[in-house]
Chain A
Amino acid sequence: MARARKVFFRRRKVCKFCADKIDYIDYKDVKLLQQFIPERSKILPRRISGTCANHQRPLQQAIKRARHLALIPFTTD
């Protein structure tokens, strides 16, 4: 929709963790982490999700911890 022409306005992305005031990103919170791993199970880039740098870093850490414990997949084949 917004991507078609430059004239269309783009919805401003807000960092989910800033908006919801989540300060500690828990690796056990699979439901939360799942929102940041799309189909191929890659970590969703900031560019797409709008997460701020201060939250993307712990998010990335949490996802990697959850992967190690097989809570979320490394990849989907």
Chain B
Amino acid sequence: MRTYELMFVVDPRVSDEDVVTMTQDYKNMITTSGAQITSEENWGRRKLAYPIDKLNEGKYVLLYVSSETGKSSLPEVEHRMRQNDKILRYLTVRTDEDLKRAARRQPAGGRTGAPGAGEPGTTDGGGGDVEPEEEV
């Protein structure tokens, strides 16, 4: 199974309703190809770290996609996004491999990193604070 994250930045002059319908369009494209939308996040208006097309803000939308067969229409979705000039930026990331690798490392517990390279630094790290797990 493959999982993807699809994030895109929309022109802030586009109204919230239009962003929703736009997102729905892309979601339909994805679901009709046999993949599922596992969850969706709308970050809303957010300041850009640098101006894009002389705009200082953007609306961020994030889709989590999972595909059982490995088939998804993401290339077509990307193609459509490239042509849509209301979309300032988009990024698709395949996440299953990295998450699997992270999950495998988790139960290993105390011994981190490469085997053989004995690392004494981990035991006396004294990191009392446990960072909350990032939402995925």
Contact = CB atoms under 8 A, between A and B. Distances in A.
B102 to A, nearest CB: 3
A23 B89 contact: no
Contacts, number: 67
Interface centre among A28, A54, A68 (most CB of B within 10 A): A28
Nearest to B95: A24
A18 B22 CA distance: 40
Nearest to B122: A18
A3 interface: no
The B interface, classified by DSSP as helix, strand, loop or mixed, is mixed
B50 A74 contact: yes
Given A18-B113, A24-B136, 18 more contacts: A19-B122, A19-B127, A20-B127, A20-B129, A20-B131, A21-B112, A21-B131, A22-B131, A23-B106, A24-B102, A26-B134, A28-B62, A29-B134, A54-B113, A69-B9, A70-B50, A72-B49, A73-B50
Interface of A: 12, 14, 18-24, 26-29, 32, 52, 54, 58, 65, 67-75
